Amino acid sequence: VLRATLELAAEAGPGGLRMDAIAKRAGVSKETLYRWWRSKTEVVLEALAQRSLATIPAPDTGSLRGDLSAFLHATVASSDRTTRRLLRALAAEAASDPGFADLVTRQFIATRRASLGELLQRGVERDEISSRQAAIAIDLIYGSLWYRLIFQNAPLDTSWAKDITDTLAPPT
Amino acid sequence: VLRATLELAAEAGPGGLRMDAIAKRAGVSKETLYRWWRSKTEVVLEALAQRSLATIPAPDTGSLRGDLSAFLHATVASSDRTTRRLLRALAAEAASDPGFADLVTRQFIATRRASLGELLQRGVERDEISSRQAAIAIDLIYGSLWYRLIFQNAPLDTSWAKDITDTLAPPT
């Protein structure tokens, strides 16, 4: 179901997604689909969350700098055209509807923040960063990612990954 | 005209703004209004840009840390309810329309980036920060601001200003 959802989003765009099309492509009934997810938004959020977990590993390289660099480069590599379009569509609706913003936060953003948070927490335990700095780093990193996605004034590329790593975990 | 625009936005919300209402409140003709601005979006962007310039000074305190702290605290103080609602409405449309994103970038975001950029440039000249770090700092700071505005998972408050200052310009 989750793979079918991303395939259809790639073909029809975020606006063209329909629950019955997802059911058909995944080979399940609409009833089954609605038993597990209440809306197409919830399917999309879970598909994106699962895809991120699968494509963005958080390796334990032994240093904050190594971990952050690997994580941010994998984040860039994982953000293909379909993902970026889906994220923009989610941001558009979140910006105009606080209830939708809360849903996106709980079912997608929280999973991404948790992955990055684990990596930063290892840095806190190694005394490379304070816990207050680790907390704000999550906002700085994901903030700049969404900012570039929404306003498209700079690309989400390896320079982004490298510059953030150098700023938040400078070479010693 | 710019003051009338923000007053009307406060009363009617971003969705209720109309060119004829702005003209009436400002005591000018619709023809005059359209001579200077092509759409209500352009009036709103200029009103926001001028308001930010007036309410967010960039004092030269002699250190990056002092400058950044003053600038971010003024940014928080300046973001009243009407401003936050207008910014969210702009983000919603920017996320779904690249042409609109470009307009917002040119007529509002660029002016904010320039103010913050001047302050960071003084830090570069004092060797407190590299020019590459100054460039990405603009994205990190405004990224986290828009992220909190859109997803509302944390407030835009003095803790935000303080934590960012401590991370990007730590006490020496």
pLDDT tens for each residue of A60-103 = 999 999 999 999 999 999 999 999 999 999 999 999 999 999 99
- Averaged over B13-22, what is the pLDDT? 89
pLDDT band at B15; cut points 50, 70, 90: confident
DSSP, collapsed to helix, strand or coil, labels residue B101 as helix
**Which residue numbers of A have CB closer than 8 Å to B's CBs?**
88-89, 91-96, 98, 101-102, 104-105, 109, 132-133, 135-137, 139-154, 160, 163-164, 166-168
CA distance A109 to A94: 12
pLDDT tens for each residue of B91-113 = 999 999 999 999 999 999 999 99
Burial degree of B104 (CB within 10 A; 0-12, 13-18, 19+): buried
Dig out the tokens for B16 from the structure: 């209720």
CA torsion sign for A153, A156, A162, A167 is positive
Give ipTM to 2 decimals.
Answer: 0.94
Task: Please give the biggest Cα pair distance in chain B.
Answer: 57
B146 and A142 within 8 Å at the Cβ level: the answer is no
- Averaged over B119-140, what is the pLDDT? 97
A142 and B145 within 8 Å at the Cβ level: the answer is no
pLDDT tens for each residue of A100-128 = 999 999 999 999 999 999 999 999 999 99
Q: What is the DSSP letter of B27?
A: T
B167 and A136 within 8 Å at the Cβ level: the answer is yes
Q: Which residue of B has its CA nearest to A113?
A: B153
A95 and B96 within 8 Å at the Cβ level: the answer is no
In sequence order, which ranges of B79-130 are alpha helices (DSSP H)? 81-96, 98-104, 110-125
Q: What is the DSSP letter of A127?
A: T
Q: What is the pTM assigned to this prediction?
A: 0.95
Mutation test of the interface with chain A: which of B150, B152, B163, B165, choosing the one with the most A Cβ atoms within 10 A? B150
Q: For tokens 């809360």, what's the residue? A: A102
Distances in Å between the Cα of B67 and the Cα atoms of B63, B108, B128 are 6, 22, 12
Inform me whether the pLDDT recorded for A172 exceeds 90: no
In sequence order, which ranges of chain B are alpha helices (DSSP H)? 2-12, 19-26, 30-36, 40-55, 64-78, 81-96, 98-104, 110-125, 131-151, 158-168
In whole numbers, what is the pLDDT of chain A averaged over residues?
95
Q: Which residue of B has its CA nearest to A103?
A: B151
DSSP, collapsed to helix, strand or coil, labels residue A133 as helix
Taking CB atoms and an 8 Å cutoff, what residues of chain A touch B140?
A: 140-141, 143-144, 164, 167
Asked whether the beta carbons of B85 and B13 are under 8 A apart, the reply is: yes
**Which residue numbers of B have CB closer than 8 Å to A's CBs?**
88-89, 91-96, 98, 101-102, 104-105, 109, 132-133, 135-137, 139-154, 160, 163-164, 166-168
CA torsion sign for B55, B87, A47, A148 is negative
A166 and B133 within 8 Å at the Cβ level: the answer is yes
B89 and A109 within 8 Å at the Cβ level: the answer is no
Query: Out of A91, A140, A143, whose CB is closest to B91?
Result: A91
Residues written for chain B: 172
Dig out the tokens for A44 from the structure: 């999309």
B163 and A132 within 8 Å at the Cβ level: the answer is yes
pLDDT band at A14; cut points 50, 70, 90: confident
Contacts of A166 (CB under 8 A, 6+ apart): B132, B133
When computed from its CA atoms, the radius of gyration of chain A, rounded to whole angstroms, is 17
